[in-house]
Amino acid sequence: LELAESGGGVVQAGGSLRLSCTASGRAFYAYAMAWFRQAPGKERERVAAISRGGDNTYYSDSVKGRFTISRDNAKTTVDLQMTSLKPEDTAIYYCAAGGIPASTPQHYTFWGRGTQVTVSS
């Protein structure tokens, strides 16, 4: 499965961005999907995940109520709508695919190259 992120950029605090991840190569519907982020000097953390069918979603406490993950299995895409962005949301954001919507990176087999999100204060 190949994953490619898009939609990153620079935004002012309080603003919004929508990230998109397009998958190709295998049965997208068979994978749980997640968005991780990694800031300089910090560990990679999961911000959101979604089950194979899209029925269940999971969020870190730091983004709950501000970010929304969604997927379209027909289009093989998974999106992350980010609102009320804060400077601490600045990071490289990665799309990942795995067997279950786990919280740790080790459970994900396929990764995109990442897209930079910068939130200015």
Closest alpha carbon to 69 in 86, 53, 82, 52? 82
pLDDT band at 26 (very low <50, low <70, confident <90, very high): confident
Taking residues 6-21, what's their average pLDDT?
Answer: 98
Mean pLDDT, range 17-45, rounded to an integer? 95
Give the closest residue to 17 by CA, choosing from 2, 5, 32.
5
Q: Determine the average pLDDT of the residues in 43-67.
A: 97
Rg over alpha carbons for the chain, rounded to the nearest Å, is: 13
List, as one string, the DSSP characters of 105-116. GGGEEEE---EE
96: closest CA among 25, 29, 8, 23? 23
